[in-house]
Structure 1
Amino acid sequence: MNISAVFKKFPKTFWVANTIELFERWAWYGFFMLFANYLTGSSDAGGLEFTQAQKGILMGVGTGILYFLPVITGSIADKYGYKKVLFIAFVIYTSAFILLPLFDTFTGVFIMYLYLALGAALFKPVISATIAKTTTDETASIGFGIFYLMVNVGAFFGPMVTLLFKHSSYNLVFYISAGIVALNFILLLFYKEPDRKPNTDSLKTSILNVFKNIGLVVVDLKFMLFLLIVAGFWTMYNQLFFTLPVFIAQWVDTSILFDYFQSNIPFFSENYGTPSGQMEAEFIVNFDALFIIIFQLIVSTIVMKWKPLKTMMTGFLVCAIGMSLTLFTQNVLFTFAAIYIFAIGEMAGSPKITEYIGRIAPADKKALYMGYSFIPVFLGNVFAGIISGSVYQDMSDKTVFVKQEVAKRGLEISANLSQNEYFNQAAQSMNMKPQELTNYLWNSYNPSKIWYVILTIGLCAVIALFFYDKFIMNKKK
């Protein structure tokens, strides 16, 4: 196949849509990768000092709703037109990014995050449908490959840009995302509405049909069981954003990496380091997107001819091992290796989910079933919020542990201090340096034990998937 010849077959709207996707993902991940530490971080560093449980509810439910709404917003787009819905989505996106940092209460931030999620939910089905409608059977494979490349390029560069301004003000993180997504207003001028079948039903009828179709899917217990199993994968996967940045910020000693950059590439230590000689947690986590950009083509080539089930099981298992190991140690080099392992599993398993759904769906309901593959992503976000919230708070939260240690020793430290001030005061009262207190809490409270939870979820998903195919479907797929 002549790649250059295939590229020439894509219409202009295809390239416009991909560029729009790039900027949207750039804006989204520019704030989302930093969001967990923004919600739970110390107030003197710009954080809101929410509890981990509050963070879990906000990110889990809010992001879950984001992935549930597209089945409704997709009908709205079919009814009123893609270009109009994209315009509304960008208005909501831009205003939400500007307004979100103005709120500092849990209720206020939650409402604004739901408003932001509405913008994303309006955007998602339209841009995916645009790519589908501007590709053919011949160009679809390469076309969606380009699309997912744009997703990961945006996911990588978004945090790399916003992290440059985090120390000046967290507000700038949101304003930069607002500016990036607002660039899409310009691109919208060049966006041509792709051919679509007009929806003559009323909006009420269209939405009622959506829920009627959900009912048709829900009564297929075999399919619902598969979606629940895959939700286990997404629960594990979302810890990359919900838990890992917080865990690294609280526990992992990244000074060896800071010292290396300080000596060899000072740009990184100066722009992505902290005053205490550590690297930003989000800088470390962001290597997942970089690994995908570099290795996705290689991994996809290797697993291309594997059966979807085998690939998914392998990918889920490798993901489970990688993600659990990221929460295993304080050694940042070990964390890097674990993120790489996780990325390999993600690249192998995640793309095959949609393919497998297409195989197990009834012949006359393939489009319907493919349209509701959002369910495990929705559930995975909600479950991930529970794990990264109350479970992490009980098993691994350094803020909780230091207060327990202070109470155990009978020390009196003002509750009005910021998290960082409280921790430093506790360390001083115990005649330790902050890093020494971190190491003491690590050894005394064993926060890494949460890796057992993540590994168990992943293994259960793999085992359940194996038995599902063997005993429920009764044939290999």
Structure 2
Amino acid sequence: MELFERWAWYGFYILFALYLTKSTDEGALGFTQVQKGWIMGVGTAILYFLPLITGAISDKIGYKKTLYIAYSVYTTAFLAMPFFHSFVSVFAIFLYLALGAALFKPIVSATVAKTTDKTTSSIGFGIFYMMVNIGAFVGPFVTGHFQKIAWEYVFISSALVIAFNFVLLTFFYKEPKHDDEPEKVKEPLGKNIAGAFKNIAVALSDVKFVIFLVIIAGFWTMYNQLFFTLPVFIDQWVDTTGVYNFLANVWPWLAHKLGTEQGTISAEYLVNVDAGSIILFQIIISSIVMRMRPLNAMISGIFVASIGIGLSMMTHSGMFVVLALFIFSIGEMSSSPKITEYIGRIAPADKTALYMGTSFLPVAAGNFFAGIISGNVYQQMSDKVQLARDEMVARGIHLPAISHKFTQNDFLEAAAHKLNMNTHEFQMFLWDKYHPSHIWMVVTGIGLGATLLLFLYDRLLLKKQ
């Protein structure tokens, strides 16, 4: 179920920023980067905060019933999404989708925890995380193919994939025993939810722990640019013909399947280098970092990931982006799994569950702030449409406002025509004059800031204890 859920989610999510911001004459919504940032940032932040409540609901009504509700919400949200086109309505349907994800998210990991013991938990969670990455890798390849036909098929394919989980749930899933927490099942739902918030408050009374969570929120802010910003940056600025030509020489069939009629590779396939690298190399990287202290592994991993994500936005070379994403994946593999492990280690023996319950907070905060970076900051520094507007205003050239009749592509073509350029020449003119690649400094700076703060946290705050 985890595999198919991640397949459906990432198949849609890796394309979502492009669906929100690409030109309406290509079947997308034509939103601004700021609007995209608010939808993805706030919506996904709420998704990661809601498990505090949905976890209490699942304890009360049972995991299997909760999963039926989650898949129903998920499926109907995916099917409905193509019918919403305004900012408010798309925001609303994405929040509805986030509710389905939030209902699902705590249950599978809790099921693994309840159906394994000390001798089998490592392999159990190992299989769990392997399914996460396989689903995340396969999903974009499938939906990327459907996107070439029409955007609607992206959502339909994700709906069908998540709906397959009804079959698995009905015929194979068995409710795990709740013997370890019978009081949660008997208590009123409101009391369960209030108890969850109380537990979070208890954990957050530890000042050292709060400082750690704030620093890790910086990591997630940097990390989420992989989905919020990088697909748009690749689509707007990166020349992927080199990647296509390389594949055409090495594996012509794959180049044909992934490539476009223009001899390029779409952004979602390049971004998917990260998930593919994790599938291939996670065991190797884990075997290396397992010998390191969790904090040292996190510091090293966040540093490497920060460099990798920055390099991916530094040039307009597609081959360079592939290399940069491989570097990023090494940092992610080193740091991300260690965060949860570290929280479990530093928690007092009688408060492990309380501390683990807060692990979603930096993820939620990181998504929120990632939305601001990919929205307001990216639009002002790097958005091709905004930079074209700025150039027209600076030259005193008036063009019609962007609308469904005069799309983003129409605007860029008209702006290029005013300067006696074709669209490619105009793009390179904007690249050379406005340096949109400088967004890498912001993203890498956030990651390096988190790295430095984590280093100081380890050397100064922890060493004093």
Interval containing the TM-score (normalised by the shorter chain): over 0.9
Q: Which residue of 2 aligns with 1:3?
A: none
CA contact (8 A) 2:3 2:131 kept: yes
Q: Deviations over 1:139-179 (max 9, x none)?
A: 11111111111001000110100111112211110010000
Q: Write the letter of the residue equivalent to 2:305.
A: C
Q: Which residue of 1 aligns with 2:118?
A: 137
Separation in 1 of the partners of 2:60 and 2:229? 39
Q: Deviations over 1:418-471 (max 9, x none)?
A: 112221232233222222211110110011111111121111111111111222
Q: Which residue of 2 aligns with 1:466?
A: 455
Q: Which residue of 1 aligns with 2:186?
A: 200
1:475 positional shift: 5.9
Q: Which residue of 2 aligns with 1:355?
A: 341
Separation in 2 of the partners of 1:146 and 1:123? 18
Q: Which residue of 1 aligns with 2:312?
A: 326
Q: Which residue of 1 aligns with 2:73?
A: 92
Separation in 2 of the partners of 1:263 and 1:374? 44
Aligned residues between the structures: 457
Structure 2: 5+ residue stretches without partners: none
Separation in 2 of the partners of 1:216 and 1:202? 21
Moved more, 425-434 or 58-67: 425-434
CA contact (8 A) 2:33 2:378 kept: yes
Separation in 2 of the partners of 1:88 and 1:47? 29
1:68 correspondence with 2:49: yes
CA contact (8 A) 1:90 1:119 kept: yes
CA contact (8 A) 1:45 1:167 kept: no
Q: Which residue of 2 aligns with 1:14?
A: none
Separation in 2 of the partners of 1:322 and 1:431? 37
SS in 2 for 1:194: coil
Q: Deviations over 1:397-418 (max 9, x none)?
A: 1110111222333334333421
Separation in 2 of the partners of 1:165 and 1:278? 17
Q: Which residue of 1 aligns with 2:92?
A: 111
1:225 correspondence with 2:206: no
Q: What TM-score, normalized by structure 1, do the two folds share?
A: 0.93
Q: Deviations over 1:233-280 (max 9, x none)?
A: 100000000000000000001112223344554444444333433211
Q: Which residue of 1 aligns with 2:424?
A: 435
Q: Write the letter of the residue equivalent to 1:330.
A: H
Moved more, 245-254 or 357-366: 357-366
Q: Which residue of 2 aligns with 1:191?
A: 173
Q: Write the letter of the residue equivalent to 1:403.
A: R
Q: Which residue of 2 aligns with 1:285?
A: 271
Following superposition of structure 1 onto structure 2, how do residues 18-97 of structure 1 map, counting pairs within 5 Å? 20-97=1-78
Q: Write the letter of the residue equivalent to 2:136.
A: A
1:87 positional shift: 0.4
Moved more, 358-367 or 158-167: 358-367
1:306 correspondence with 2:292: yes
Separation in 2 of the partners of 1:211 and 1:139? 31
Separation in 2 of the partners of 1:469 and 1:255? 45
SS in 2 for 1:328: coil
Match of 1:346 among 332, 343, 353: 332
CA contact (8 A) 1:96 1:116 kept: yes
Separation in 2 of the partners of 1:202 and 1:412? 63
1:386 correspondence with 2:353: no
CA contact (8 A) 1:252 1:330 kept: yes
Separation in 2 of the partners of 1:153 and 1:459? 29
CA contact (8 A) 2:200 2:357 kept: no
Moved more, 251-260 or 55-64: 251-260
CA contact (8 A) 1:318 1:342 kept: yes
Q: Which residue of 1 aligns with 2:129?
A: 148
Moved more, 306-315 or 412-421: 412-421
1:403 correspondence with 2:403: no
Q: Which residue of 2 aligns with 1:17?
A: none
Separation in 1 of the partners of 2:354 and 2:201? 11
Separation in 2 of the partners of 1:135 and 1:394? 50
Separation in 1 of the partners of 2:48 and 2:197? 15
CA contact (8 A) 1:22 1:150 kept: yes
Q: Write the letter of the residue equivalent to 2:374.
A: S
Separation in 1 of the partners of 2:31 and 2:259? 24
Moved more, 310-319 or 460-469: 460-469
Q: Deviations over 1:205-237 (max 9, x none)?
A: 111111211221222221111000000110000
Q: Write the letter of the residue equivalent to 1:219.
A: S
Q: Deviations over 1:344-388 (max 9, x none)?
A: 000001111111111221222111101211111011100111111
Q: Which residue of 1 aligns with 2:446?
A: 457
Separation in 2 of the partners of 1:159 and 1:184? 18
Match of 1:419 among 408, 426, 444: 408
Q: Which residue of 2 aligns with 1:247?
A: 233
| Distance change >3 Å, CA 427–CA 278, structure 1 → 2 | farther
Q: Write the letter of the residue equivalent to 1:195.
A: K
Moved more, 334-343 or 407-416: 407-416
Structure 1: 5+ residue stretches without partners: 1-19
Separation in 1 of the partners of 2:421 and 2:257? 29
